[in-house]
Structure 1
Amino acid sequence: MVKPGFAEAVTCVWWDINRCPGPSNADVRFIGPCIKTKLEKEGYFGPLTINAVGILTEVPHDLLRQVNASGISLHHIPTDIDGLASDLFKWTWSNPSPANLVLLTNEPIFYETENTLFRMGYNVDRCFLGRCLMYSVECAVLGWKEWMAREQDSEVVEVEKWREEGEADLHCSTCSLDIQSFESFMTHLNSKEHTLEELEYYPRGVAAARRHGTEENVTAIQTTLKRFRERRDGEQRFKYFQKKLNLYY
């Protein structure tokens, strides 16, 4: 349930769409309404926004189109783990406490981000859809499926007009750009200029960007970028779990 003093505060849902994808056969139009219905049951009545955030170039194009058309904003981040955390903290700049943050993710490293936001005075809910979201992608899909079925069966969920006002945002954190149309957004994310910009977020990415500067094959640049991402994420997880182990020994 919502904490005292936070019921009418702004609420922002951050959906880690890479790690917690919805089930493939789900009607995406129901995700926003189901989330809003559950929030209201738990006492959240303030303005609501839902952001699907992640490395959006690794999410199927058609799924992103449906998600955005349903009223959910799309936020592309240049780096996986620290990119999402960075977007969360940027959001706090224009949304001071009291405010509510709902995190839909199964990434354990975000516990540290959650604790920091809590100390900053925010109400942070990480178990909104149940703990089954928090173990693996497969468990996340199952959690979405079971939860949406319960919400839709419990009462009639209105698909239309779950957003109170405004259009869903299309934001590229890499380039600090807000883009108006979905097709323009996806064209930007898959452009050579954008991909080279993302390479520079990684320790050896600047040199790689220079090497790829004359490369016309964007797919080849994206392959290099993916290797950098995987290496960085692996290093971050190793450091996180090593730190946890050191606390026990």
Structure 2
Amino acid sequence: MMKNVKKATPELATSKTIVWWDMDSCPLPNGYDPSRVGPRIDTELKNQGYNGPLTIIGIGNLEGVPHDFLKALSSGGVVIKQLPLGSDMMSCVRRALFSREPRFEPPLSMMLITAVHADLLEDIVCVFFN
């Protein structure tokens, strides 16, 4: 079960959901099937009432990550992004949100899977949505 995921409000129940996964600070446990990541996140979000379109973006330093692992993640619905040199995941999130791409326009639910940047999300959301 996911921690700190609130039940969907009626407005957000069918809106887009974007999941940002910091693959560097939250790697998969050894032995976990990477093709199950996307379906597992989807199931947990549906259990919380989020039934709209889902995009899962895994961001990290992919250097040295086996091709088979990345292929399995992708086959499970995870969009994989190489972290730009000298950048961190939160700057990638910020850049994407301010790009004004239609997929990032409200109403939108966002979930952040990270071990190091969670306190920064509130600042980004406040700037983006206010």
TM over 0.5: yes
- Distance apart, 1:91 and its partner CA: 6.0
Structure 2: which 5+ residue stretches go unaligned?
Answer: 1-6
Q: Indicate conservation of the 8 Å contact 2:59/2:89, yes or no.
A: no
**In the alignment, what sits opposite 1:48?**
54
Alpha-carbon spacing, 1:73–1:12, altered in 2? closer, same or farther (3 Å): same
Specify the SS of the correspondent of 2:13: coil
- Does residue 11 of structure 2 align to residue 2 of structure 1? no
Q: Which of residues 64, 78, 92 in structure 2 aligns to 1:84?
A: 92
**In the alignment, what sits opposite 1:97?**
106
- Distance apart, 1:57 and its partner CA: 1.9
Q: Indicate conservation of the 8 Å contact 1:32/1:71, yes or no.
A: yes
Specify the SS of the correspondent of 2:74: helix
Alpha-carbon spacing, 1:120–1:17, altered in 2? closer, same or farther (3 Å): same
Give CA-to-partner distance per residue, 1:174-230, whole Å, 9 cap, x none. xxxxxxxxxxxxxxxxxxxxxxxxxxxxxxxxxxxxxxxxxxxxxxxxxxxxxxxxx
Task: For 1:117-128, list aligned pairs within 5 A.
Answer: 117-121=125-129
Q: Indicate conservation of the 8 Å contact 2:94/2:124, yes or no.
A: no
Compute the RMSD of aligned alpha carbons.
2.3
Give CA-to-partner distance per residue, 1:159-183, whole Å, 9 cap, x none. xxxxxxxxxxxxxxxxxxxxxxxxx
Specify the SS of the correspondent of 2:129: coil
**In the alignment, what sits opposite 1:14?**
20
Q: Which of residues 115, 121, 132 in structure 1 aligns to 2:123?
A: 115
Between Structure 1 and Structure 2, how many residues are aligned? Answer: 121
**In 2, Cα distance between the equivalents of 1:17 and 1:103?**
11
**In 1, Cα distance between the equivalents of 2:126 and 2:69?**
32
**In 2, Cα distance between the equivalents of 1:92 and 1:2?**
24
In proportion to residue count, which structure has more helix? Answer: 1
Identity between Structure 1 and Structure 2 (%)? 31
Alpha-carbon spacing, 1:58–1:91, altered in 2? closer, same or farther (3 Å): farther
In proportion to residue count, which structure has more strand? Answer: 2
- Does residue 75 of structure 2 align to residue 66 of structure 1? no
Q: Which has the higher contact order (CA 8 A, sep 6+)?
A: 2
Q: Indicate conservation of the 8 Å contact 2:22/2:89, yes or no.
A: no
Q: Which runs of 4+ in 1 moved over 4 A?
A: none
Q: Which amino acid aligns with 2:31?
A: N
| Range 56-65 or range 6-15, more displaced | 56-65
**In the alignment, what sits opposite 2:38?**
32
- Distance apart, 1:11 and its partner CA: 0.6
**In 1, Cα distance between the equivalents of 2:31 and 2:95?**
29
**In the alignment, what sits opposite 1:194?**
none
Specify the SS of the correspondent of 1:57: coil
- Distance apart, 1:65 and its partner CA: 2.1
Specify the SS of the correspondent of 1:36: helix
Structure 1: which 5+ residue stretches go unaligned?
Answer: 123-249
TM-score of the aligned structures, taking structure 1 as reference length: 0.43
